Amino acid sequence: MQRRSLICVFLLISYCLLDLTAAKAQVTPDTTHPVSIDPELINLTNPKNPPREYIIAGIKISGTKYLDESLLTSISGLTVGDKVTIPGGDNFSKAITNLWKQNLFSNIEINYTKIVGNNIYIEIDVTERPRLSNFYFKGVKKGDGDDLTTKTALVKGRVVTENMKRSAIQVIKKFYAEKGYQDVQITISEAKDPSVANSEILYFNIVKGPKVRISEINFFGNQAISESKLKKQMKDTHEQSRFTLFPPPIDTTFGPNPRMTFKEYLDKWGFLSFTGTKEFLDPWFRFKLFSSAKFNATKFETDKQKIIEYYNSQGYRDAAILDYKTPVNKGKMNVDIKLEEGHKYYFGNISWRGNTKYSDSVLSIALGIHKGDVYNLDILNKKLKMSQEGGDISGLYMDDGYLFFRIDPVETAVYNDTIDFEIRMTEGPQATIKNINITGNEKTKEYVIRRELFTIPGDKFSRQELIRSQRQIANLGFFNQEKINPGVNPNQEDGTVDINWSVEEKSADQLELSAGWGGGIGLTGTVGVTFNNFSIKNIFHKSAWDPLPSGDGQKLSLRIQSNGKAYQSYNFSFTEPWLGGKKRNSLTISLYRSVFRTGGYNYRTNTYSFSDTNSLKNFGVSVALGKQLHWPDDYFTLTYAVNYTQYNLNNYPLFTSAFRNGYSTNFSFKLSLSRYDLDQPIYPRRGANQVLSVQFTPPYSAFDKGITQGDSYKLPEYHKWRFTSDWYLPIGNAMGADKSRQFVLKASAKFGFMGRYNSRLGFSPFERFQVGDAGLTNNFGLLGYDIISQRGYPVYENSDPKYNPDQQQASQFFTMFNKYTLELRYPFTTNPSSTIYGLTFFEAANGWYNYNEYNPFRLRRSVGVGMRFFLPMFGLLGFDYGIGLDRIQNGSLKDATRFTFMLGYEPD
C-alpha cells in the first residue's frame, strides 16, 4: 500500500486554515526532515471537505531501537478502536504532545498507511535522541574530575537532553564557586561515538579563571550598629587573610639601643619571627590579619538574613538590605552592602485575650517582657511558643494537657517608637494520651523503652514529660540520640493524642584488647568486654545468642589483665537497672581478684622469676542497691553499697616493713545521694550531675580500746566524704541552623575529705585521694584510692603549689582535696558510629593531709587543649595537652607541659 502522509510539520504550516489545536499538535520539533504530500492526503485533510469520522484499526511504531513499542503506544494515548475526526480532531496532536514530554525523541511524525472504508491504519514514526556513551571534563585536575563525575550524576546509556546538559553545567559552576572560582566558563562539545550506534560523547571544556577571595566587606547606611558587629553576624562570609609589610629603606636605623639598620634587624630576628615584644611593634611595621574566606553565594544569602535578624534583635524591626554589590578585580572581591536601619522600637502595652485558665497577671509574669524593653520579636516568640530553657507560655499550657493550645501575638498600635501587642490565644480542650507506639527497636525489647517513658496512656499530655521521656531513652545509650523522635499525632475530634516513638539502634557494646611480649616477663595483655544491653534470662536459650543474648537493658562486664606471672587480675560486674521490673531500683554486683608477686632478674636467661613466697593476693566483692526517689523530685537516686576486700600478704611490704605477713580486711558501707538530669550521656549539652556520698567502716576503736596504730593496717577504720557537681550549658550556635554543632561549657567542682573516729590513731592508709596526672593509679589501685586527675601535673604528694618536680615518688596520698574545672567543648561529629569533640580547659586543684594545712585558695593551676573520641566498640579515647602554670620557671614552658592519654573512661 502506498504510504500516505496524514500529519506532518510542513502540512500544518501549509494548511494554516486547519483547526488551531490540531495545528499545534502536529508541529514536530525537528523541521529538518522534508515530507512529500500525497494528493489523497490533501483531499483528506482539505478544510473545504466536511469533517469525517474514522476508527483507528491499527497502530504501528517505527524508528525505535531501545524502547518498547507497546509502552510508546500506551504513552501516546491512542488505542485501536478510538474514533478520530479528520480534519478538525485533536487526537493526533495530543499523542505527539504526550510522546514529546518524555524528552526521548528529536522528531515525531504520525502517518497513515491504509484507509478501508471508515477504518484507518496509522504509523507513529519516531527518531530517538542519541544516548550518552561517555563524557570527559577538560581543563581540570583528575581529582576534580572524579568529584564532578559523582556530583553531576551523569550516567552512560541515558538519553542526551538539553536538561541533562544544563543541569551538569549548574553543578560544575556550583562546585567551583564553593572553591572560590566565581567566573567559571563552560562549553560543551558533542561528538558522535562511532563504536556505538546513535550515541554521543560529551566534552565539558572548563576554564576556571582566577580564584576570587573577599578582599573587603563594606557596610553603608549603618549608624546604630558598628561595622565590626555586623561582620561578626556573617558566619560564612569573611574577609581574606593577608599580611602586609611596609618596610623602611634598607639602610634606615631604628629600634632600641643599640640602634641598627633595617637589614641588620631582619638578619637578627628573621622576616617572620614576630613575637609581639616591643621591638616587633615598631611603627615601621604594619600588618593586618583577618580570617580567610571564599565567597559562596548561597551562604552569603544566609548571612544577609543573619544581619537582618541581628538588627531585629536590637529593636530595628524595619531594617532592610537595600542593595549589595560584589565587584571583582584581579581575583579580589569587595562585598558592598547598603543598609537601611529604620527606627529603634520598644515594647509598649501587652494585653491578653482568650485566656481563662490563667489570669493576665500570671501570664505577664511568665512572659517576662515589660513596657520599655527593646523590641525583639524573636524573644517574644520564644517566650510565647517554644523556649529551650522552658518557662514559655505554650509550655505552661501544654504541660497541663492543652495540646491544642494556640497563641498569636498581634500588633495593635505603633506610635512613635513604641509597639503595643495583644496576645490572642485559644486554649482548647485538654488532650489525653491514647496510644504509645514504638518502632525501630530491632534488638532492644519494647518494655525496656516503655519503662523509661513518662508519657503514659490515660494521662494528660505534657510537653515536659515528652522531653523527659526523650532524654531517658537517650540516656539508655542503646540508640542514636539524634534520631530519637516522638511523633505526636493529635486527634482533636475525641481530644486524644497518639505518641509514635521512633528510634534507631546503635552498637552499645565495648571491647578492650591489648597484648605484648618481652621485657623478660613474657606475655602481657588485657582482654575486656562490656555488654551494655545484655539479657541474662536468655543466657541458656540457644536461639537468643545472636551473637549474644541481648535486649533486656542489663550490663555485664568481664575483664582479665595479666603482666606475666608478676600480676594477674580478674574482674566481673553485673547491673540490673530495674530490679523486679516494676520500679527504677538498680542492683549491681562486682567481684574482683588479683595476685601480685615480686621477684628478681636472672641475667643468664634474661628473664624475671616470680614466686608465691613474695606475694600479695586480694579478693573483693561489692553489692549496691539504688532506689529512685520522688522527693525533692524524681531525678534523685539514693544508693546503698556494701564493700568487702581482703588482702593476704606473704612477705610483701604493701603498707610498711612492720607489716609484711598476714591478712588485712577493708569492710565498709557507702551511701550516695545523686541527682542526674543530663540530656544525653556521651556528649551532654545541658543539665547537671551531682553526687554527695559518704563511705565508712565500723568504728572498731570504739568497741576495742586496745587497738593501736599497727592494727589500722589489719582492720582499717575511717569515714570518707565526697561531693561532685558537673554542670553543662550550651553557649551559642557555631553552625547556624545545625543545633548539634554547638559550643558547650562544662563547669565542675569536686571536694573530698577523710575523717577518723579516734584522734590517737592515724588516718587510714586505705581510700585516700591521689591527685595529679591523667587519672592513672599507683599500686594498681590496691588501696582503693580515689583517683583525682589534674592535667599538666604529675601525681604529687606535696601541698605547696610551688614544689613541682617532674617525677614525684608519691608513697602516701592526701586525706583532703579540692578541684575546679572549666571546659569549653565543641563537637566535630555526633554520629552514632563515632562522637568526636575538642575542648579547651582550665583546672585548679590541690590536696592536703590535715585540716590545719587546708587552704581552698592555694591551688595548682593548669590550662590546655584536648580531644575526645567515643567509638561504640572501644569506648572513650582521650588526649590532653596541659600546661602546669605553677610549673613554669623563668618564663619557659620546657618542664611545664604534659601530654596525657586516657582510655575507656573520663577521669575524675
- pLDDT band per the 50, 70, 90 thresholds, residue 777: low
Strand ranges, E, within 705-773: 719-730, 744-755, 769-771
**Mean pLDDT within 718-743:** 78
**Mean pLDDT within 533-539:** 91
Return the bridge partners of 825, or none. 744, 839
Query: What pLDDT, in 10s, does the model give residues 142-169?
Result: 989 999 999 998 988 888 888 889 999 9
d(CA 788, CA 770): 6
Edge-to-edge strand list for the sheet holding 418-426: 346-353, 418-426, 406-415
- pLDDT band per the 50, 70, 90 thresholds, residue 8: very low
- DSSP annotation of 50 reads P
* The predicted structure's pLDDT at residue 5: 40
- pLDDT band per the 50, 70, 90 thresholds, residue 742: confident
d(CA 214, CA 237): 8
Q: Which helix (H) or strand (E) holds 166?
A: helix 162-177
* The predicted structure's pLDDT at residue 658: 64
**Mean pLDDT within 806-820:** 79
For residue 708, pLDDT over 70 is answered with yes
Strands 328-329 and 199-207: what pairing? unpaired
**Mean pLDDT within 687-710:** 89
Query: What pLDDT, in 10s, does the model give residues 325-336?
Result: 988 887 888 999
For residue 476, pLDDT over 80 is answered with yes
* The predicted structure's pLDDT at residue 217: 92
For residue 276, pLDDT over 80 is answered with no
| Average pLDDT in the chain | 83
For residue 734, pLDDT over 50 is answered with no
Q: Which helix (H) or strand (E) holds 265?
A: helix 262-269
* The predicted structure's pLDDT at residue 14: 35
* The predicted structure's pLDDT at residue 20: 30
* The predicted structure's pLDDT at residue 615: 87
**Mean pLDDT within 261-284:** 42
Query: What pLDDT, in 10s, does the model give residues 554-572?
Result: 999 999 988 877 888 999 9
CA angle in degrees (0–180, nearest 5) for 433-436-438: 155
- The pTM (predicted TM-score) of the whole model is 0.68
Report which of residues 621 and 120 the model is more confident about. 621
Percent of the chain with pLDDT over 90: 45
Query: What pLDDT, in 10s, does the model give residues 241-272?
Result: 544 444 444 444 444 444 555 455 445 444 43
SS3 at position 836: strand
Q: Are 30 and 106 in contact (CB under 8 A)?
A: yes
**Distance, CA of 264 to chain centre:** 52
The length of the chain in residues reads 908
Q: How many CB atoms lie within 10 A of CB 793?
A: 29
- pLDDT band per the 50, 70, 90 thresholds, residue 32: very low
User: Three cell numbers at 862?
Assistant: 593548669
**Mean pLDDT within 162-184:** 88
CA angle in degrees (0–180, nearest 5) for 754-768-862: 105
Strand ranges, E, within 230-377: 253-254, 260-261, 320-325, 328-329, 332-340, 346-353
Report which of residues 44 and 871 the model is more confident about. 871
SS3 at position 23: helix
Edge-to-edge strand list for the sheet holding 4-7: 4-7, 105-116, 119-128, 52-62, 83-86
Query: What distances in angstroms separate CA 793 from CA 446, 637, 764, 857, 888, one per listed residue?
Result: 48, 34, 26, 18, 11
- pLDDT band per the 50, 70, 90 thresholds, residue 63: confident
Strands 719-730 and 744-755: what pairing? antiparallel
**Mean pLDDT within 190-218:** 89
